[in-house]
Every structure is written in structure tokens, then in C-alpha cells.
Amino acid sequence: MRWEDLDSEACSVARTLSVVGDRWTLLVLRECFLGRRRFEEFEASLGIARHVLADRLKKLTEAGVLSRIAYQERPRREEYRLTDKGRALNPVLMTLAQWGDTYMAGPEGPPLLRVHNACGHVMQGVLVCSECGEAVGARDITPKPGPGAARPSS
Amino acid sequence: MRWEDLDSEACSVARTLSVVGDRWTLLVLRECFLGRRRFEEFEASLGIARHVLADRLKKLTEAGVLSRIAYQERPRREEYRLTDKGRALNPVLMTLAQWGDTYMAGPEGPPLLRVHNACGHVMQGVLVCSECGEAVGARDITPKPGPGAARPSS
DNA sequence: AAGATGGGTTCCAAAAGGGAACCTGTCAAG
DNA sequence: CTTGACAGGTTCCCTTTTGGAACCCATCTT
């Protein structure tokens, strides 16, 4: 299977990965959530090859996850900012970070904490059911075909 | 930067991606959460090259995300099951799936729905603050260095 | 005129991936 | 007792993607 074909799979995970499932893309997005916006900032903080970075930024922009916005004319310079669609990926980054906090941190503890602005505490994100509000684990849910299941090779 | 060096980055996202950040790994895990366990099942449902699948399963097993368990002797056959560490990745898969449901689904809607066993409703996972219980968005949190920040090249 | 800056593009060698064929135990059938 | 099937890999070859470094280009600054 080719990587670009993933977006036509009848699976939202696969479709999402067709956009962000690349080696570097999620790290670029991590930098975005930390406030990074400029090409050179991404390069310096990630150590990514420049042409790979250029390619990822282009693809993320085409996908509507980032937008290029000029921050000065003459010489024209553009920076990359998260769109709403991009900010909607925050839960993915948070859950990735929390798994790393739990399973990949050294004895000192996690490298980065998250403070909830509203309540002021260091927090963890907890995934709860939108309907009943209870926390949900892997075994608490049952998958069921949805309306978009088995699209007839559209 | 080399891919394997990611686990020594002072960032939990990077460390997590050093385990699951590969093109195929998250799709293998999706299959695990859907109940797939055997080599041939993974191959058939993913269309992945066999040696790549063998490599990913080996790496996930070494990382403690999957475990190999014999389901018959003579001939010895083994299957791959999620460990607790692996099941802890469920929030990552759920948030990926939900982003895809929102932004990548066709007009028909998402291909797969999730039913919460406890309350019986079709649900979305909502990320809430562990301290105050409020839903958290990208702009509601402020990162702050944690105890494991800037490890002195341990 | 000689840098410096920001944001890329080009080139080459090395690594990873796709596809198909081949290998290894074990059992079942003829 | 040879042939086939099954599960789970491994090998081989060729294409695509990376990593790394060099080069390009428009615009200020000295």
C-alpha cells in the first residue's frame, strides 16, 4: 500500500495518519504548539534536514493544518501558524506526551508539565465519555460501523 | 538527527514517537485495538510488506507494547497481544480517530463509531483536566519545565 | 562591494519500504 | 512417504525517502 492511499481507507486513524503520520510531522506540530512559527526555528529545534522540513510545512499547509502568514513585506517573510484544524490536533499531542511521561520518562520525572490556565494546577488530560462523563479506557468501548463505513470505492 | 535518538530527547512527545511514531506502527496498533493478534491478520488487513510487519512487531514487543504469547504448541504458534503499556496508547488512537472523524470523513460521516459500554451511547472522547474536570483546549494550557527537564546528558 | 538574514532548492550517498520468492516446522491427505 | 497446506518469517532486488551539505536569491546593513 502506498502512503498517499491511506486517506481513502475507511478508517479515521488511517486518514489522520495520511496527514500527520509521518516521521517528522508530529514533531513539527509539537513545535507549533510550543509557539514556534518560523522555518529557521523549526530547523534549529528539530535538527531536521531543510528540504524535508520544507516538504512537511508545504504538506501541512496544503492540508489546512498550518497557514502561511506574512509577518513582513520587503523582504517578504512568512511564518507558519496553526489553523483551527491544526489546533484540533492538540489532544493527539497531549495524549502522546502523557504516554511518554508515564512510560518513557527517566527517574527524575517528565521533562515538561502542563499547567491548566483555568484552575492553575499541573494537570493531566483525562479522556472522558462525552455522554456520561466517565473516564474511558481501552476496554470500555466497542467499535461499531458508522454511516461512512465501507464506502463503495467512491 | 537519527530516528533512534529521539528517545533521549527531553520531550515526551519525541520519546513516544521513538516507539510508535513510525509510518506503520500506529496502524498496527489500531488493528490490535480492533482485536487483531496474528501475523497474517495484520498482513491481510493492512497490506503491509511482510518484512516491515515482522520488524514492527519485533520492535513493539521489545518496547513492551505488545507481548508474544503462544496460542498452541506443536507447531508452536505465537500471537501478539497488547500489554497494559500498549493499552495505555488507546487515548492516542482515539484522539487520532476523532480528528479524522471531524476533518477527514466524507459527507456520509465517520466510518466507525465508538459505543461506551458503561452508558451504552455512541460517544466521543473529551479531554478534561485531571484537577478541575473542565474540558481543555490547545489554548487552555501553559507548558512548564518539569523535574526531568534538561537532563545533563545522562 | 561585502556580508548577513530568512527561506528555500539541488545534489549525492545511505537508509527504509514495496513486492515477490523462498524457507521452516508440523500436521493431514492420498 | 511424498505432496500440500498453514503460520510465520527471512531474503533479494529495486524504488522512494532521508540525512547532510552546498548552493541560490531577494533584501537590508555596514
Mean pLDDT of chain A: 92
Taking the stretch 68-127 of protein chain A, residues with Cβ within 7 Å of any atom in nucleic acid chain C are: 75, 77-79
Q: Chain B: nearest CA to A131, how far in angstroms?
A: 6
Subset of residues 91-110 in chain B with CB less than 7 angstroms from any atom in strand D: none
pLDDT digits (tens, 9 = 90+) for A33-74: 999 999 999 999 999 999 999 999 999 999 999 999 998 887
Cα angle B127-B133-B137, degrees, rounded to a multiple of 5? 40
D strand bases under 7 Å from protein CB: 6-12, 17-22, 26-28
Residues whose CB is less than 8 angstroms from the CB of residue B27 and which lie 6 or more positions away in sequence, other chains included:
A13, A14, A17, B46, B48
Average pLDDT in the A77-92 region?
Answer: 96
Our measurement of CA A54 to C1' D24, in angstroms, reads 15
Q: What is the pLDDT of residue B153?
A: 38
CB pairs under 8 A between A and B: 315
List the B33 CA – C28 C1' distance (angstroms).
34
Smallest Cα–Cα separation from B96: which of B7, B52, B33?
Answer: B33
- Going by pLDDT thresholds of 50, 70 and 90, the confidence category of residue B3 is confident
Are B7 and A104 contacting, i.e. CB atoms less than 8 angstroms apart? yes
Confidence label for B23 from pLDDT (cuts 50, 70 and 90)? confident
Give residue A20's pLDDT band: very low, low, confident or very high (50, 70, 90): very high
Residue B14 has pLDDT above 60, yes or no: yes
CA distance A115 to A127: 17
B32: nearest CA partner in chain A? A138
3 state SS of B116: strand
C1'-nearest nucleotide to the CA of B52 = C17
Q: Is B153 exposed, middle or buried (0-12, 13-18, 19+ CB in 10 A)?
A: exposed
Q: What is the mean pLDDT of chain B?
A: 93
Least confidently predicted of B3-12, B39-48, B92-101, B133-142: B3-12
pLDDT score for B13:
96
Q: What pLDDT, in 10s, does the model give residues A22-35?
A: 989 999 999 999 99
Question: Smallest CA–CA separation between A59 and chain B, in Å?
Answer: 15
- DSSP states along B48-102: --HHHHHHHHHHHHHTTSEEEEEEETTTTEEEEEE-HHHHTTHHHHHHHHHHHHH
Region of B104 (left: φ > 0; alpha: ψ -120 to 50; beta: rest) is: alpha
Q: How far apart are CA A52 and CA A71, in angstroms?
A: 23
pTM over 0.85: yes
What local confidence, expressed as pLDDT, does residue B120 receive? 97
Three-class DSSP category at A56? helix
What's the pLDDT score for residue A4? Answer: 72
Answer yes or no: are the C-beta atoms of B71 and B77 closer than 8 Å. Answer: yes
Mean predicted confidence (pLDDT) in A5-12: 84
> Cβ contact (<8 Å) for A92 and B100?
no
Given a cut of 50, whether residue A154 has pLDDT beyond it is no
The 10s digit of each residue's pLDDT in B34-55 is: 999 999 999 999 999 999 999 9
Host H or E run for residue A127: strand A125-129
